[in-house]
Amino acid sequence: MDRKKWHEQAEEKWDDFSEDWRGRSKQMWKDGSRKKVLPFLQSFLGTGAEVLDLGCGDGQGSEMLQEEGYRVTGVDLSSKMIDIAAGRSTEATFLQADVTALPFEEESFDGVMAINCLEWVASPLEAIREIHRVAKPGAIFVAGILGPVAGPRTNSYARLEGEEVVCNTMMPWEFRRLAERHGFKTTGMASVPKEGAPDKVEHPLMEQAVSFMTLFALEKQNVDAPGQE
């Protein structure tokens, strides 16, 4: 499937899912699978920073960041998600855009957040290059990548039966390698364990294997070229 068709279908999927997402997002950010995200970001990026929230959905995470003193711009592919986000009583800015073609100038943001967003783009590499472009030198990029057994990964199963899908199968370790080869350096990691999994596993790869999501903090490097792995 070409990128244009992929992203059109992804937009339609998330438009259809927008009301369901709105009903669940507050719990996810405050007590559920995303409760670790903002404290993790805050440990790497100081208050007052200009943050781009990619795949912002209904704007719950953007609003919480804004309340913590960050200046936030939320972006989502889904126009219905953006309509919901724009209705929030927050000073955060929201607009519809494609993560692989962002409408911002180079070096615009101190930080970028993309939680379970890059799994839904046709080319994660194109997205990472765009993130690198709009991030300031030394900016922090916080990404959340679904673990191997996370429930949302069932969206990609149908490809095994010959159907077209709009959810890729990128693993956390693959994302890290891709980001480090294209202009970023990993400065921190954290795991959100899948329900029923151990809270702590000694080996990092084993921890990723039983996680719902792995969080990465990555620092933009000066050269956008293949680097450390």
Averaged pLDDT for residues 189-217:
74
**Where are the alpha helices (H) located in 107-184, listed in sequence order?**
124-134, 172-181
- Residues in the chain, total: 229
Contact 54, 103 (CB under 8 A): no
Give CA–CA dist 196/113, Å, rounded: 27
CATH number at residue 175: 3.40.50.150
For residue 17, the model assigns a pLDDT of 86
Q: Tell me whether residue 171 is in a domain.
A: yes
Is the pLDDT at 209 greater than 80? The verdict is no
- Indicate the number of domains in the chain: 1
pTM (predicted TM-score):
0.90
CA-nearest of 226, 149, 140, 130 to 183 is 226
Q: Tell me whether residue 228 is in a domain.
A: no
Q: Tell me whether residue 134 is in a domain.
A: yes
Contact 101, 139 (CB under 8 A): no
Considering only residues 209 and 94, tell me which one the structure prediction assigns the higher pLDDT. 94
Hey, is 103 helix, strand or coil?
coil
Block residue for tokens 């704007």: 59
DSSP string, 25-87: HHHHHHTSTTTTHHHHHHTTS-TT-EEEEET-TTSHHHHHHHHTT-EEEEEES-HHHHHHHHT
Q: Tell me whether residue 23 is in a domain.
A: yes
Q: Tell me whether residue 229 is in a domain.
A: no
Is the pLDDT at 213 greater than 70? The verdict is yes
Structural domain including 19 reads 3-220
Q: How far is CA 30 from CA 34, 141, 157, 201, in A?
A: 7, 21, 29, 24
**How do residues 9-19 score in pLDDT, each as one tens digit?**
888 889 898 99
Is the pLDDT at 49 greater than 90? The verdict is yes
Q: 88 pLDDT band (50/70/90 cuts)? A: very high
Give CA–CA dist 33/152, Å, rounded: 12
Q: Tell me whether residue 193 is in a domain.
A: yes
Q: Tell me whether residue 195 is in a domain.
A: yes
